[in-house]
Structure 1
Amino acid sequence: MIRLVRLVTYYLLGVISIICVSVFTQYISTIGIPESPEYFEQLYDFFVSLFKPESWIYIKDGSASGAPMMEIMWPAFIYSTQILVGALALGFGVAIFFALGSTFLPKLVLRPIKRILDLLESIPDMIVATLLQVLAIAIFKATGITIFEVASFKEKANLAPIITLAILPAVSMFKILQVMIEEEFLKVYVTFVKSKGISKFNILIKHIIKKIMPISFNHMKIIIWGALSSQFIIERIFNVHGLTYFLLDAFKPMMVFVTLMLIFTPFYFFFQLIDFWLKEEKTLSYETRTSDWRPSSIAVGIKMSRENIVFTIKSINL
């Protein structure tokens, strides 16, 4: 019950923050205008307008007619979500695959790979997107084959925005995983497991991945928010008619509010669900270890402890 109350409370605080930010954009534009309303006056007016049906109408700047807000914004949200989820899946998948594979590479090979990734991470998304568009156009001129849409016109551009957006998550996640895997291999329990004759691959799959995944998730949250900020630029470059397009097309407090709510709500509950699952896994693991400590297993525990001490002494002597 306490968790539910905390979940709802934090969500409501997030909604209140979004309302304040939505009005702040309009307030900045009215600074310096004579007799312009104060911030809190605009905040109150906007809060009241949220409960009026006529406020939930999308009206393009310079247009007299409008359409229901969610009829316009929901398909745009789905389109943007497809690009973001596709980019994150591609980026994290590539990062995990290469991070696990790099464990078996010699340092002589791994060192130049890290330098290349550092260089790739420093290249702005705008340059990457432009290079992809130039490459697609050059291939089309040479062969007549369209490898992907360079911008959304009659057909939606999906592959190019996903590839561009996936670079940052892939490089960042690879570097984080690679460092954590290297640190785990230096720990005492890994040395002990190696002494039992278990292969490096089995240690990586059965022990290390299980150890680093909860920590990796905390880094994933930061990477996801970074990818979201990059997506606004990428959508403009590829003319994607997603949330960014309609937000800038009618930049009003209501549009800012709806856009931020569509982004905040699913990610908030997704992150909370994963945090809850990780805490349950940690609690279950602790309960399993304590329940296994029965009188019948004390002798086994003493024997394992003695073996650990002997192994440590031998390692020091070596």
Structure 2
Amino acid sequence: MRAIAAVAGLGLVLGLTACTAGPPGAGGPPDASRQAEPTPHPLLALDCDELVDADVFRAGFGEPLGVRAPYVEGYGGMGNVATAALALAGATRCAWGDDERYLEVDVLPAAETEWERLEAELQMFQPQEGAHGEAAWFSCRPGERPGCRADVLAGRNWVAVNAFGLVDVAALDAVLAPLVARVAAAEVANPDWPAPASVPVDCAALLPREAVHSSIGDDVEPWTDRGPVLSQTLRQAALDRAGAVHCAWRNGFGSATARTVDLVVLPGGDLVWDAHFAAPVPEWVERESFDELGDAGFSAVHTSTFTGAIDGVVSTLSPGGAWVDVWANDEARDDDLDIAVSLAGTALQTLGP
């Protein structure tokens, strides 16, 4: 792992705000008050085996599929923080199958507000209108990685389906029809865990332009019109539900090399931190524990399987329990992790204890 030089000036300042108790997930003593409180759990009154049964699998896939764990990548980055946000939002996550054919179902409860706000973005990824629920959008793709994705508003609940190895629309409908009906009719409980404190500052305060310029270069500007960018739009809805702040910076689209920075701050990240980082790490990611910032942390080097570019990711917990996550991508440099560490330190100082 490359040396992390950018931390040098931050240790003293951040040490003054760090909690004395050991960080969650890093071998420290448990927080008794936090343990005594309810933790996030699915709010939909249906288990996975009640969502999809053997008859549905036979109608859609032609055979039953065995239970598997929902896919989680145990490191940082906006998409992975969003996976953790699903847990904070009380979502239900289920998966069945193997590497050749599988079905993944995510349900975000009581999400009609998020659906109304994000439906137009959803249609960019899945432009075909479906026939189920209050509204539905889907797309199916053949080729080397065949499959269908569908998102449906089932009553008040947002259902996202990824059917890998299935490309026939009639087969997709055979899965969706009973699934959507069951979700629409299911009861939804109210969260019984404490609501995380909101992030009190915006992007300009979390990372002033001067801080970004000094870390990555003066040709990077705020990416203010980025909007929702996750292809599984349900995860964007989960980030919004959790009160996450997402900030981005980039150089010009006509530049010879891409240069971007993403910052995500997830309130209540300490409630889902341990479970997320217990998940396996993809083979193209090198992850290490990182205790120079905040109450707990992991650094990661991500090597793109498409371009070979190496990105730096740092995930830390603020003393207030927020997950601070920075992803730095500069195709022309090899110090992306140092950049991410420096910017995460700046954001942590802004958030304070």
TM-score, normalized by the shorter chain, greater than 0.5: no
TM-score, normalised with respect to structure 2? 0.22
Larger radius of gyration: 1
TM-score, normalised with respect to structure 1? 0.24
Identify the structure with the greater helix proportion.
Answer: 1
